[in-house]
Structure 1
Amino acid sequence: MRWKVETKKSYLHPDDLLFPDYKVIISVANISKVKNHEMLINAFNKVKYKKVKLLIVGDARDNIDNLLNAISLSNKSRDIIYFGPSNDVFPLLSIADIFCLTSIHEGLPISMLEAMSIGLVPVSTNVGGIPELLDGKCGLLTEINDIESYANQLDLLLSNDDLYEKYSKNAKDKIKEQYNLDDYCRCISSIFFGIAKKEGYKMKILFLVNCSGFFYSHFLKLALSVKEKGAEVCIAAGNNNKKHELESLGFKVVLLPLSRCGKNIIKEIKALYSINKEIMNFKPDIIHAFTIKPVLYGSFISKVNPFIKGDVISSITGLGSLSLPKNSRDKFIWGLVKKFYKISLSAPRSKIIFENGDDMKFFIDNSISNECNSFVVNGAGVDLDVFNISYEKYNIITIILVSRLLKDKGISEYIEAGKILKDEGVNVRLLLVGDIDKNNPSTMNEKDIKEAHDKGYINWIGFQNDISQYNKLSHIACLPSYREGRPKSLIEAAACGLPIITTDVPGCRQMVDDGLNGIIVPVRNAVKLADAIKTLSSSPEMMETMGNYSRSISEKIYGHNSIRDQFYNIYGIK
């Protein structure tokens, strides 16, 4: 089956719309007198081409009785299908050949643009902006209620494949060149910024985050770029770790009483009040929130406070430990969080950014977001000049894992793999870079880490500022995580030309073309992890080939400029 549609509100089952050996004419428009469906049915009655179906899609308004009566009286009633309304017309358009419009008057119908974008050829009445759209090259025109001419135009397209293909190509090209949605958005934003500049208006962007250190390490380049565009930027964070550094770069920094792991209801209400107060004081045009609490609280406040007018952009940088419930209590809490997500992210001005398609699909499938307001951006990006390939390496084959020391990052499996390799006498070193995160419920026990280090299973060097130095000296990057957004540590490692070993979970699997730039292993499986390390570390040629492939991927999709442009499209900034 080529496609699938939602049938809850449909008059037919989708299987009824598979027409082998038939061509399909489609009309997508509300059922009203203005749309003049009677003309279409009367013209279809006169079409001479034998194997053709007419599919009518649209919501019944003031003319449904006339439509159904016209269908029942048609001499081709068996070939006319009234599908009813549909929230997803693309699958229906994809089975059609000709798009029909018989309106008495029109502006510029979106349904026709959508049909042309996939190569359908329109036949339309000569109304509104349609003659300019079709331009004699992308479709055919007739006068209103000229039934004979309309039928002849349909027959011409149905029987002349060469003419149809010519118009179809022209239609697709015209939409791509003149009606591209991204170009339209950039045009509108350009007009907006032009007006704003003339009036001396300075766009305001509020970044809402748990931790100023996280923002500084991941999204500083984004903040600097919008500031260079002339925007006034405020960073509201739950701590002051990077306050001095951010202020020295010209950003306004506000401290919020926001804790990542806080569960005291009074303190959480205080956090909500403080976020609301800051939004009202700063009056941002765009609120961009990162991680669970800022996303939930910022979106919720923006939804319930009618005085907040800015767009709300929520970055889901992974679903976190809560999405991996270990008991009934965790499942209950995760269920509540999903409901809160659904409430908070349902505001009309809300846009949700994900770092991988799996997380986006999860939100859409659970009706938390929808396809129209959901976007994928490939992480936070990387400085390709700082993180680059070096041929100076440690003397011993070194595998590097850079992460907070959490169970959910697969640290236990990494240690166990180190034990397996040591017991088998494999001459490699498992470098572990990162610190204990005591505020996270998934944190590792420092005693266990030190014990593994002392036994030689791993080489733990704690938190380090210059990660690029350690990546460049290492041979293989590893992250056996249980779930990620788009792991920054692997993005940076790929930019340094390292092959990657990671798990088959959301966020991690997107980092590896299995067998090309690394190896994907099952999650929570130390034996398979150790096997992958042995396989890769024993082949210098494989490491080099995969490492070069990693670098090429980074240059294509993970550079800061590429990531910045993806955010700009969502912001509406040219």
Structure 2
Amino acid sequence: MPTSDSRPATVVLVSNSSFFLYNFHRGVIDGLRDTGYRVVCLAPTDAHSARLVDELKVEHRPLGMEGKGTSLVGEGKSLMALLMTLLKLRPRYVLNFTIKANIYSGLACRLLNIPYTNNVSGLGTAFLHDSWLFRRVRALYGIANRGARCVFFENRDDQALFLRMGLQKSTPSVVLPGAGIDPERFAFTEQPQSPPLTFVMVARLIADKGVREYVAAAERLHERYPQARFWLIGPSGISNRTAISDEEIAQWRARGVLHYLGEQRDVRPFLAESNILVLPSYREGMPRTVLEAASMGRPAIVSDVPGCRSSVLPGATGWLCEAGSIDSLEQHMQACLEMPREALEAAGLASRERIEREFDQAIVVRAYLGCMQHTLAPEIGRGRGAMSPA
């Protein structure tokens, strides 16, 4: 993307983890890079930072940001480091993802007069629980959102809540189909035809994802359906106030029902070997794991909460259970165990068709480039592969 001095315009993506940008927003990264921008990912260094550089061919700059950090001194240092990095990079536009990045980078961009957007990919602990600290966090969120060119939401429940709480005022907002899915990368596969029936949950190991409810339901069902398999995939040791300890995970594994497979670089082989995805989360933006599984032809059991309920069509592509209820989750999982395979296959086909119709990542890329067009219209018009707004 040329600028007046023939150098490509810099677009910065800010997040609380490189893992998040690589796994959830590689479509946006590819779209920006292919349009001609210099793309810089600003996020804490983790195992996925090198993959942003080596595989997606963009830059990575380390960001000191701890997900559960609350120290005023530590958080002040994070904000100052972010300010100095943005001053050095002098980006033409900034795309923020995850709560802390939305707040800190949003405030920094307002101070530096850099145009930016915030992506509300979920409300997280600051909205699930209430305290003096979380009320202050929500107030800062409102200040950051009100300076954005646009706020992207992943479900209408979150958009309505922000409007009701005054957390965006007159800032335009758009509801996206999550981060979108590449239907070719997550290609459709037939349901496994031979037993055992396999449930899989793919999530960070934090309580707010409903991991404990899944484990408890699996252990109950194992007594009556010993042939069924229950898999759990996702990183432990998460920087989150509701993170599940390694000791508790070890206890689950010792009881021999749950198969904890850790964090997987590629979940597709495991989705292909499973029958049903489970995500009894307390609240989501638009759960990526449900969309990945749906693209591969797997129905899902999810909790009846904002974000999750938008990820399935109840009775067609999945089922809704009561949030926080082991009994409700167990009943739905048992119904799947007793369901004819033809019914599971039909739900899987319907899931794939919905992904192709409503959740293709090209929709998301068009939305981001369309929002940026108001600020960078001359460059976008000259860029390669430019897309119109969604």
Does TM, normalized by the shorter one, top 0.5?
Answer: yes
Alignment of 1:56-205 (within 5 A): 200=6, 202-205=8-11
Corresponding residue for 2:65? 258
Using the alignment, how far apart are the partners of 2:90 and 2:240 within structure 1? 33
Corresponding residue for 1:321? 125
Q: Which amino acid aligns with 1:200?
A: S
Structure 2 alignment gaps of length 5 or more = 374-379, 381-386
Structure 1 alignment gaps of length 5 or more = 1-192
**2:237 touches 2:245 (CA, 8 Å); kept in 1?**
no
SS in 2 for 1:462: coil
* TM score, norm. by length of structure 2: 0.89
* TM score, norm. by length of structure 1: 0.62
- Specify which of 274, 293, 298 is matched with residue 498 of structure 1: 298
Corresponding residue for 1:244? 50
**2:230 touches 2:259 (CA, 8 Å); kept in 1?**
yes
Q: Which amino acid aligns with 1:310?
A: I
After superposition, the Cα gap between the structure-2 partners of 1:505 and 1:371, relative to the gap in structure 1 and judged at 3 Å, is farther
**1:537 touches 1:543 (CA, 8 Å); kept in 2?**
no
Q: Which amino acid aligns with 1:351?
A: C
**1:240 touches 1:255 (CA, 8 Å); kept in 2?**
no
Whether 1:298 and 2:102 are equivalent positions in the alignment is no
After superposition, the Cα gap between the structure-2 partners of 1:282 and 1:533, relative to the gap in structure 1 and judged at 3 Å, is same
RMSD: 2.0
- Specify which of 263, 268, 284 is matched with residue 75 of structure 2: 268
Question: Comparing 558-567 with 475-484, which one deviates more in the overlay?
Answer: 558-567
Deviations 1:217-276 (A, max 9, x none): 111221122111111111111225333333334423211222222222222222111111
Alignment of 1:40-59 (within 5 A): none
Using the alignment, how far apart are the partners of 1:268 and 1:444 within structure 2? 23
Deviations 1:124-158 (A, max 9, x none): xxxxxxxxxxxxxxxxxxxxxxxxxxxxxxxxxxx
Q: Which amino acid aligns with 1:286?
A: Y
Deviations 1:39-95 (A, max 9, x none): xxxxxxxxxxxxxxxxxxxxxxxxxxxxxxxxxxxxxxxxxxxxxxxxxxxxxxxxx
**1:234 touches 1:251 (CA, 8 Å); kept in 2?**
yes
SS in 2 for 1:353: strand
- Specify which of 391, 410, 415 is matched with residue 210 of structure 2: 410
Question: Comparing 378-387 with 281-290, which one deviates more in the overlay?
Answer: 378-387
Whether 1:211 and 2:10 are equivalent positions in the alignment is no
Deviations 1:366-404 (A, max 9, x none): 011146511111222222122122226263000110111
Corresponding residue for 2:383? none
Number of residue-to-residue matches in the alignment: 372
Q: Bigger radius of gyration, 1 or 2?
A: 1
Using the alignment, how far apart are the partners of 1:422 and 1:241 within structure 2? 35
- Specify which of 343, 356, 371 is matched with residue 570 of structure 1: 371
Corresponding residue for 1:559? 360
Deviations 1:464-508 (A, max 9, x none): 122011111111111000011111111101001111101001110
Using the alignment, how far apart are the partners of 2:169 and 2:318 within structure 1? 33
Corresponding residue for 2:172? 373
Using the alignment, how far apart are the partners of 1:392 and 1:373 within structure 2? 42
Q: Which amino acid aligns with 2:155?
A: N
SS in 1 for 2:51: helix
Shift of 1:212: 1.3
Using the alignment, how far apart are the partners of 1:449 and 1:199 within structure 2? 55
Using the alignment, how far apart are the partners of 1:466 and 1:238 within structure 2? 21
